[in-house]
Amino acid sequence: MPRWLVFAIDISAVFVTFIFAYLLRYNFETYTFSWILALSQALLVCSVYSIFMLIFKSYSGLIRQTTIRDTFIIAVINSVTLIIFVVFTFGSRNFGLPGLFNIPYSVLVIHFGMVTVSLILFRVFIKMFYIFVTVQEGNRKMVLIYGASETGIMVKRVITNDPKSRYKLFGFVDNNPKLLGKKVDGYPVFSDGVLNKDFIDSQSIQTFIFANENISAGKKKEVIESVIDLGLEILDTPAFNQWLNGQLQVKQLRKVQLEDLLGREPISLDLKRIAAGLKDKTILVTGAAGSIGSEIVRQLTKYQYKQLILVDNSETPCYYLEIELKKSFPGTPFELIVGDVANEVKMNHIFKKYQPQIVFHAAAYKHVPIMEANPHEAFRVNVGGTKIVSELAIKYKAEKFVMISSDKAVNPTNVMGATKKVCELLIQAQSRRPEISTQFVTTRFGNVLGSNGSAIHLFKRQIAEGGPVTITDPEITRYFMTIPEACQLVLEAGFAGNGGEIFVFDMGDPVKILDLALKLIQLSGMEPYEDINIKYIGLRPGEKMFEELFTDEEKHLPTHNPKISIAKIAPADYDCIIPKINEALASIYDKSGIEVIEALKEIVPEFTSDYAKTH
């Protein structure tokens, strides 16, 4: 209904109920009052109502989505108008105001009650009629909502009020003893004891919506895992700051992600220290369009820096990053540059022009099998790029240099991990040079869920294609954390160190890749081994059965943040390591793959490789 029509109906209701109030007041004996006066007063009342309806915009909401707020506005308009006309009547009778303003008090009271009921019932009728003619009950899925607090009630109202919703609410699940056995917003509240196959099947429950904001990550993981085996569609409610214009919509309910099954608590950051370290600084991020680099950029947008210099060698991801920054973070001062960190001339031009004070070095080749087949590129970009960027940071007197390393650098068995170990040694050696002012810090962590080209992306594609899901070995394990979690800790560690530290992040317990694959299949609404098969393909060249975060020789030192430790390693000698790196980089493409591997082994004696057997 257009707004003008709602406004016209409301004013008509005001007029009609006022005349009817007059009739009631005089027992329908029309000869006992002046019709001309009554009609004139009705028009006066409509005029005042019109003013307040325009002020409060009571006509502007969608009638089919009428809420308590809308009825409250109507009550306010009616109450204010009643008070005004009571004052008018009193003034007419005692201070000589015109007889037009002398409306009987009884007429005003009767009219107040009638018009309030009429305007509210009109909206309720339209809302119920709309639901009646649009909702198709037969196509709706029966739903349980986990959480009967504010968020759960909001989800309930969204799915019941939206005629296009595919869901029909059965009830809430909540362990609050004050709510059990009672009804919330007209629906029963059950304990989580009903989350069993017998109950779910008997009540034809098809969907489970998680809507409890006051619960620990561990408990949430426990609840979701208990529901996965029941064959339900599992949805999660987004955080309030992700609602569209402050309003939750059915389409925003998202499928539960693997991140929710890690059970990791939110990170507590030293925001003041980070903010002080970034304030009014020019910040360079290499590998800025990658999974880690782009998330570092998103995290940085929360702080007051001077400018972001974003460097990446991949054109298309740079394009998408630029679009995202302009759309999601308007006003962010940044320069996006396509460039190779291993190109010394290009990088020198960037450092000379922008004079970055903070450097986050995330650029690197990371895929183990690809780098195993391309050791020259792994060494040139990972090691050579780190050498160039770190030395330019020293040359142009950057205050802080933070390098992103990997758990694959610990006792490396592949080229990628070995190059990262060389980078760790190089950065530590740079930090020990007495003549420099730049603080060098290394951060080491394991796999991140959802990063570009990760196993999770591969599994999702294989599931979408009908399988099979390929896993190297049923016993293989990896450490996992979310991308935002990793990047928050990168910022925290970057401003916690004094230089030379290798910060290692708490990754929790290692996770079986097989378990992740099984849960991902179930979260996709399918059954492992029935709908989607699993195929074991054996370990790939250079791949470990399990990863490590520390070597046996490294000591673990605590920091102010319980999720960050320091790996205390033997000091690296700059004058010893740099000649070996330079020798390997010199005419690198004239060397054979075996020679590059031998160069890596000379710098990292613990590096073991099967390269000679496979190439």
Answer whether residue 52 is part of any domain: yes
Sequence letter at residue 224 = I
Per-residue pLDDT averaged across 545-569, rounded? 78
Count CB neighbours of 32 within 10 A. 9
Asked whether the CA dihedral 343, 345, 350, 355 is positive or negative, the reply is positive
Same domain as 208, residue 111? no
Cross-strand pairs, 269: none
Do 187 and 179 contact (CB within 8 A), yes or no?
no
Amino acid at 111: H
- 9 and 145 part of one domain: no
Residue 411 resides in a domain: yes
Q: Which of 157-161, 305-309, 532-536, 565-569 has the lowest mean pLDDT?
A: 157-161
CB 38 within 8 A of CB 32: no
Q: Measured between alpha carbons, how far is 510 from 480 in angstroms, rounded to an integer?
A: 7
**Any catalytic annotation for residue 397?**
no
192, 55: one domain? no
Give the pLDDT mean for 484-509. 82
Q: Report d(CA 175, CA 178) in Å as an integer.
A: 9
Mean pLDDT of 326-351: 93
- What pLDDT score was predicted for residue 72? 85
The model's pLDDT over 72-106, given as tens digits with 9 standing for 90+, comes to 888 888 899 999 999 999 988 888 888 889 999 99
In a domain, 318, yes or no: yes
> In terms of domains, do 228 and 288 share one?
no
Tell me the per-residue pLDDT of 286-322, one tens digit each, with 9 for 90 and over. Answer: 999 998 899 999 989 988 999 999 999 999 999 999 9
**Mean pLDDT over residues 401-407, rounded?**
92
The pLDDT mean for the chain works out to 85
Answer for the pair 444, 568: CB distance below 8 angstroms, yes or no.
no
Question: 103 and 88 in contact (C-beta within 8 Å)?
Answer: yes
Domains held by the chain: number: 3
pLDDT digits (tens, 9 = 90+) for 16-69: 999 999 899 888 888 888 889 989 999 999 999 999 888 888 777 666 566 677
User: What is the pLDDT at residue 388?
Assistant: 96
134, 163, 197 - which closes a domain: 134
Tens of pLDDT, residue by residue over 117-170, are: 888 888 778 777 766 665 555 567 888 888 888 888 888 877 776 666 678 888
Shared domain for 525 and 393, answered yes or no, is yes
Distance in angstroms (rounded) separating the CA atoms of residues 99 and 93: 8
Mean pLDDT of 447-463: 77
In this prediction, residue 350 carries a pLDDT of 96
| Alpha helices, DSSP H, located in 96-170 | 105-134, 150-161
Q: Is 445 helix (H, G, I), strand (E, B) or coil?
A: coil
Angle made by CA atoms 342, 346, 351, in degrees to the nearest 5: 100
Chain centre to alpha carbon of residue 248 = 15
Contact predicate 276/491, CB 8 Å: no
Rounded Cα distance between 390 and 399, Å, is 11
Q: Nearest 5°: CA angle at 314, between 312 and 319? A: 90
187, part of any domain? yes
Residue 502: domain span: 271-614
CA distances from 403 to 320, 358, 425, 452 (A): 24, 11, 11, 19
Going by pLDDT thresholds of 50, 70 and 90, the confidence category of residue 503 is: confident
Tell whether the torsion through CA atoms of 409, 415, 416 and 419 is positive or negative: positive
Q: Is the pLDDT of residue 496 over 70?
A: yes
pLDDT greater than 80 at residue 374: yes
Decide: 418 and 600 in contact? Cβ < 8 Å: yes
| Residues sharing a CB contact under 8 Å with residue 233, sequence separation 6 or more, in sequence order | 141, 206, 207, 208, 255, 525
Q: Give the containing element (helix H, strand E) for 206.
A: strand 205-210
What percent of the chain shows pLDDT beyond 90? 33
Kindly state whether residues 492 and 609 are assigned to the same domain.
Answer: yes
Segment 344-353 shows an average pLDDT of 96
Q: Are 312 and 293 within 8 A, CB to CB?
A: yes
- What is the reported pLDDT for 520? 84
Which of the 8 DSSP states describes residue 590?
G
Evaluate whether residue 262 is within a structural domain: no
**DSSP code of 301?**
T
Q: Are 210 and 237 in contact (CB under 8 A)?
A: yes
Helix, strand, coil abundance in the chain, percent, nearest 5: 50, 15, 35
- Classify residue 405: in a domain, yes or no: yes
Inter-residue contact 406 to 368 (CB < 8 Å): no
| Residue spans of alpha helices (H) in 432-568 | 455-464, 483-494, 513-523
Place of tokens 């009825």: 71
Least reliable range by pLDDT among 190-194, 195-199, 343-347, 550-554: 550-554
| C-alpha span between 226 and 57 (Å, rounded) | 48
Q: Whole-angstrom Cα distance, residue 355 to residue 349? A: 10
Mean pLDDT over residues 228-250, rounded? 68
Residue with tokens 């099954």: 261
Tell me: do 608 and 525 sit in the same domain. yes
pLDDT score, position 276: 86
Q: What is the pLDDT of residue 265?
A: 64
- DSSP state at residue 362: -
Indicate the Cα dihedral angle 12, 15, 16, 17, nearest 10°.
120
Q: Are 500 and 432 in contact (CB under 8 A)?
A: yes
Alpha helices by DSSP H, 301-384: 315-328, 344-354, 368-373, 375-377
If asked whether residues 336 and 367 sit together in one domain, one would say yes
Same domain for 233 and 292, yes or no, is no
On whether both 512 and 489 belong to a single domain, the answer is yes
* Residues 304-341: b if buried by 16+ CB within 10 A, e if exposed: ebeebbbbbbeeebbeebeeebeeeeeeeebebbebbb
Same domain, 141 and 130: no
568 or 611, greater pLDDT? 568
- φ/ψ of 59, rounded to 5, equals -95, -5
Residue 215's pLDDT is what?
76
Q: Helices 415-431 and 385-395 meet at what angle, rounded to 10?
A: 20
Q: Which of 350-354, 401-405, 574-578 shows the lowest per-residue confidence on average (mean pLDDT)?
A: 574-578
Is residue 264 in a domain?
no
**pLDDT over 70 (residue 238):** yes
Query: Exactly one of 281, 408, 544, 591 is catalytic; which is it?
Result: 408
- Is-contact 218 263, C-beta < 8 A? yes
Confidence check: pLDDT of 421 > 90 = yes
| Among 86, 114, 134, residue at a domain's last position | 134
* CA atoms of 564 and 337, how far apart (whole Å): 32
pLDDT at 439 over 60: yes
In this prediction the pTM is 0.70
Answer for the pair 505, 564: CB distance below 8 angstroms, yes or no: yes
Examine the domain organization and report whether 545 and 595 are in the same domain: yes
Q: What is the CATH number of the domain that holds 494?
A: 3.40.50.720
In a domain, 261, yes or no: no
- Backbone φ and ψ for 526, nearest 5 degrees, come out as -125, 165
Domain termination residue (choose one: 223, 256, 289): 256
- The amino acid present at 170, given as its one-letter code, is F
